[in-house]
């Protein structure tokens, strides 16, 4: 059996935890038959996870449950609280307006489920990013009316990224509401997936990280944080490799942005590194490994590194015990597992 300390001296708040309403799963199933969207990553990911394998069945069942089984799982793994968000790609494969009406229903359902166990769950609001007005409005409703703690952006929407300022209303709303947006992985966009697919690198092995890191950098270099200096974006998986590349991104973007080499690339107000340190939070979702966690605390800030499990995609009890043994003081562990999440999500 796994030895998980029931009283480690801190609450464990897991900050990147997934759910999927049954209606969304049914829509995914329909789309897998209809094949009407142009997103090979969707068919690769959900083609497998809608299947009959034990792993797919367990995942699908756990994704849809926000009650008995999930709480039992949390109890068995020592998780006190989950920050729950709509699983990828959420509503982002549907027509923009349909995406908004789905987001409204799913946010209502999530809020309703949270209200049954308010000491165990908080939620992030889904929105349909390509429906710009609807997205901002639904984020605002989610936060102000439903008590959501931020927004979930499952990266690209059928290959469209959010760096074009015509999509920035939702970021403006997030800044005004003082809530973070979780930039969560999607499979590589249709434009980039081909060389990943053949050898199975499109999903969590590498594709998610490439895709989501790219999206984060596109937002940064497009000047999103010059426009909205207080905006906070959360990256999972130890920052999708960006903290490791902090120095190179900073130095080379400084060069590129002043070289007039690219028509669309203009200098930012500050060095790229500053935004990665002051406009991003990082979680260890899917990475129960001390070196990158300690590295981010070191090069970014101990105030910006948060715990996450990535349930139910990665539900491994022994990882909790491993993370309890991070080379930190008790106070530092409390900050990592609990304190930073309480502050950021106002829990």
- Please identify every residue annotated as catalytic: 310
- Site size with Mn ion, rule: CB under 5 A: 2
Contact status, residue 198 vs residue 147, Cβ threshold 8 Å: no
**φ, ψ of residue 188 in degrees (nearest 5):** -50, 145
Name the CA radius of gyration of the chain, rounded.
19
Q: What is the contact mask toward Mn ion in residues 257 to 296, using x (rule: CB under 5 A)? A: ----------------------------------------
211 counts as binding Mn ion under rule CB under 5 A: no
Specify the residue, 310 or 319, whose C-beta has the smaller distance to Mn ion. Answer: 310
The number of residues in the chain equals 347
DSSP string computed for 110-139: HHHHHHHSTTTEEE-EE--TTSHHHHHHHH
Closer residue to Mn ion in complex, CB, 16/338: 16
Residue 267 structure tokens: 């200098």
Q: Is the backbone peptide bond immediately before 124 cis, with ω within 30 degrees of 0?
A: no
> Phi then psi for 20, rounded to 5 degrees?
-145, 120
Closer of 163 and 310 to Mn ion (Cβ): 310
Of 14-22, 54-62, 118-126, 317-325: span binding Mn ion (CB under 5 A): 14-22
Here's the x/- map for Mn ion, 314-333, by CB under 5 A: it reads as --------------------
Q: Indicate the burial class of 195 (C-beta count within 10 angstroms; 0-12, 13-18, 19 or more).
A: exposed
Among 138, 211, 310, 324, binds Mn ion (CB under 5 A): 310
**Of 15 and 335, CB closest to Mn ion:** 15
Which residue ranges make up the site for Mn ion (CB under 5 A)?
Answer: 16, 310
């Amino acid at each position: 059996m796994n030895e998980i300390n029931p009283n480690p001296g801190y609450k464990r708040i897991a900050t990147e935890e997934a759910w999927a309403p049954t209606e969304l799963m049914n829509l995914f199933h329909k789309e897998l038959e209809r094949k009407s969207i142009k997103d090979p990553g969707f068919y690769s990911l959900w083609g497998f996870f809608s299947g009959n394998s034990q792993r797919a069945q367990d995942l699908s069942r756990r994704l849809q449950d926000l009650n008995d089984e999930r709480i039992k799982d949390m109890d068995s793994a020592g998780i006190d609280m989950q920050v729950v968000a709509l699983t990828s790609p959420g509503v982002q494969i549907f027509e923009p307006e349909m995406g908004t009406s789905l987001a409204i229903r799913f946010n209502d359902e999530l809020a309703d489920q949270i209200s049954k166990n308010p000491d165990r769950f908080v939620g992030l609001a889904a929105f349909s990013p390509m429906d710009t007005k609807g997205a901002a409005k639904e984020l605002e409703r989610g936060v102000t009316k439903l008590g959501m703690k931020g927004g979930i952006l499952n990266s690209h929407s059928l290959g469209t990224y959010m760096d074009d300022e015509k999509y920035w209303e939702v970021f403006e709303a997030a800044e005004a509401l003082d809530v973070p947006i979780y930039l969560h992985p999607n499979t590589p966009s249709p434009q980039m997936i081909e060389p990943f697919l053949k050898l199975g690198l499109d999903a969590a092995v590498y594709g998610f990280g490439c895709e989501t890191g790219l999206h984060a950098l596109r937002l940064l270099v497009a000047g999103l944080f010059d426009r909205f200096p207080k905006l906070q974006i959360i990256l999972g998986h130890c920052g999708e490799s960006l903290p490791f590349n902090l120095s190179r991104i900073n130095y080379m973007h400084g060069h590129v942005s002043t070289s007039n080499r690219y028509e669309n690339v203009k200098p930012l107000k500050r060095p790229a590194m500053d935004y990665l340190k002051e406009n991003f939070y990082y979680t260890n979702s899917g990475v129960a490994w001390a070196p990158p966690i300690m590295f981010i605390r070191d090069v970014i800030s101990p105030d910006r590194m948060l715990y996450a499990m990535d349930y139910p995609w990665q539900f491994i009890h022994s990882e909790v015990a491993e993370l309890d043994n991070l080379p930190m003081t008790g106070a530092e562990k409390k900050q990592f597992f609990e304190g930073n999440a309480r502050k950021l999500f106002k829990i």
